[in-house]
């Protein structure tokens, strides 16, 4: 086999690679991600009152988020396949913002983290809320999708600095 180092990358700037994860060590890993779906007055009220024609918004979004987490490595080109041990997706009604706060928790044991799985769960759950409410209003915004905390892995534990003052937590 030719020495890979002699191969010409036709476009060294354009090249992408799925990083080698085999040097990382197995460990328990968790991640928590969050986001917020701004619905406006009417859609917010109708979700809370179970008055959306397509059906139960939050259970549908919860299941979509969990199933979405399992598709993460198929959606994100350079993301590794993590064997997910557990996923939870929760919602909080945020009255002040007329928004639904979405939170996802993922857990695995292995060489790669589950941050992207948690973020994908939040995104897919949020898109599902959008889809179910879009006959009420199209003025819906999905905001502030971010990682709140992670544990395990080479880079150890991490916690978002903004969490203490996040309105979602108060």
Instruction: Give the active site residue among 11, 73, 131, 144.
Output: 131
Q: Which is nearer to a copy of itself, 98 or 105 (by Cβ)?
A: 105
Consult the annotation and say whether 132 binds a ligand: no
Dihedrals φ, ψ of 91, to 5°?
-130, 145
Q: Which is nearer to a copy of itself, 43 or 91 (by Cβ)?
A: 91
Classify residue 134 as left (phi > 0), alpha (psi -120 to 50) or beta. alpha
- Look up 73 and say whether it is catalytic: no
Alpha-carbon distances of 159 from 64, 108, 162, rounded to whole Å: 26, 18, 9
CA-CA distance, 13 to 1, in Å (whole number)? 25
CA torsion 155→156→157→160, rounded to 10°?
-10
Consult the annotation and say whether 39 binds a ligand: no
Consult the annotation and say whether 78 binds a ligand: yes
Q: Which is nearer to a copy of itself, 32 or 43 (by Cβ)?
A: 32
Consult the annotation and say whether 80 binds a ligand: yes
Which residues are part of a known binding site? 78-80, 116-117
Which residues are part of a known binding site for substrate? 78-80, 116-117
| Positions marked catalytic | 131
């Amino acid at each position: 086999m030719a020495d890979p180092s002699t191969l010409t990358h036709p476009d060294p700037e354009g090249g992408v690679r799925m990083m080698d994860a085999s040097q990382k060590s197995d460990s328990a890993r968790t991640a928590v991600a969050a986001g917020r779906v701004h619905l406006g007055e009417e859609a917010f009220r109708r979700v809370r009152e179970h008055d959306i024609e397509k059906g139960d918004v939050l259970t549908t979004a919860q299941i979509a988020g969990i199933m979405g987490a399992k598709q993460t490595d198929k959606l994100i080109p350079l993301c590794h396949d993590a064997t997910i041990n557990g996923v939870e997706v929760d919602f909080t009604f945020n009255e002040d913002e007329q928004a639904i706060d979405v939170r996802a928790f993922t857990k695995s044991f292995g060489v790669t983290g589950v941050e992207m799985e948690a973020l994908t769960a939040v995104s897919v759950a949020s898109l599902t809320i959008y889809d179910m409410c879009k006959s009420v209003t199209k003025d819906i915004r999905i905001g502030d999708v971010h990682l709140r905390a992670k544990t395990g892995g080479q880079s150890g534990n991490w916690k978002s600095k903004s969490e203490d003052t996040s309105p979602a937590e108060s």
